[in-house]
Amino acid sequence: MKMKIGIGGPVIVLGWFLCAFMGPVSGQGPANATPAGKVAPRPLYRDPPFDAPTDPVFCFNAEQKKWLMYYTARRASAADAPGVTWIHGSNIGMAESGDGGATWTYRGVADIRYGKDTHPNDYTYWAPEVIWHDGTYHMFLSFVPGIFNDWNHPREIVHLTSKDGVKWDTAGPVDLKSDRVIDACVMQLSDGIWRMWYKDERKPKALSYADSPDLFHWEAKGNAVTDRNGEGPKVIHWKGKYWLIADTWATGMRVWSSDDCLHWTPQDETLIGSHGDVVISGDRAWWFYFGGPQAAGPNDTATAPQSAAQGGAPRPVRRRSTAINVVELSMVDGKLIAGDPGRPTLIDLKPVREAER
């Protein structure tokens, strides 16, 4: 199935190529330093069945020689789904790219069985985290036992494993001493310890972390940061620093930096969009997010726009339909800065697994 860019797409892409040779590219430096890569279309990807992909995460699949995108397939086009029921009942959608991340093709849903024995028709899967380590793919999945019209229900983070990145076996729920946890992000520290960042909705400040020696046994440690509330944490190690990115809703995608992955310093500048993933390839990094510039879809339900965060771009009007977009990142004066989404972004994901540390 080919991804549809929409009417006028060829003209826009041609204009972007002209811009790439006439001036700086999103997230890049001087005009004479055009980086490698293909122009990423906007939107980068829409989910064909339901038109609302969110919470993307990326992993290079060496067996298939393609980059895979996993995402929450919200049901924007679902009928008779009042309130937030359309955000429940979701599977984990998958798309693939064989050209370095510029073109993404829908390939179905991840083969997951967890929870379907007791909830065969009303399970909810959210916000996958997928990494590869020592011959095995690991997914840390947010699971909700039902389809609900509000947010006041149990949820847990579940550990799954796979040999091919498509069919997933259950390792078991992650014991984080809370019945309201979602949005895992996992990375290995320099001492070999694995750290998970997640949202614990039982805490006044929800961004939390846990440690594990082996990805299977976890110990909840407490708050990651306490200066802001948020969800969808993403942590990377890039340009000699650790960076924590989290969705703080009306105040945007906030960014913190750290030298030790424990003590975090916030920056005023925000990133664009909502809950996403950073892919580091070579010495470059790209921020993939949902939301941002896109054409209105048939399932849009606009409400009042959210306020702009200091130093960042305003949040788009909230809609049921959404899309995945991408910009390149740079470090400027010790801060993590996103490229301008109004300018072309050149993307060049190498066919190499990311180092999850």
Residues 167 and 286: their CA atoms lie apart, in Å, by 27
10 Å Cβ neighbour count for 303? 8
CA within 13 Å, CB half, 299: 23
Give residue 118's pLDDT. Answer: 97
Q: Model confidence at 80, in pLDDT bands (50, 70, 90)?
A: confident
pTM of the model: 0.87
Encoded amino acid at 40, one letter: A
Q: Model confidence at 117, in pLDDT bands (50, 70, 90)?
A: very high
Q: What is the pLDDT of residues 26-45, one digit of tens each?
A: 555 444 578 999 999 999 99
| Residue reference for tokens 């995460």 | 57
Residues 137 and 111: their CA atoms lie apart, in Å, by 13
- Domain locations in the chain? 9-177+272-306+314-347
Mean pLDDT calculated for residue range 207-222: 98
Average pLDDT taken over every residue of the chain:
88
Mean pLDDT calculated for residue range 315-332: 85
In degrees, rounded to 5, the angle at the alpha carbon of residue 236 between the alpha carbons of residues 156 and 220 is 35
Residue 129 dihedral angles phi and psi, to the nearest 5°: -115, 125
Q: What is the pLDDT of residues 171-205, one digit of tens each?
A: 999 999 999 999 999 999 999 999 999 999 999 99
User: 152 is written with which tokens?
Assistant: 């006041």
Encoded amino acid at 274, one letter: S
Name the nearest CA neighbour of 284 among 354, 356, 235: 354
Q: What is the pLDDT of residues 118-127, one digit of tens each?
A: 999 999 999 9
Residues 245 and 338: their CA atoms lie apart, in Å, by 12
- What's the chain's length in residues? 357
Residue 79: pLDDT over 90 = no
Mean pLDDT calculated for residue range 216-240: 98
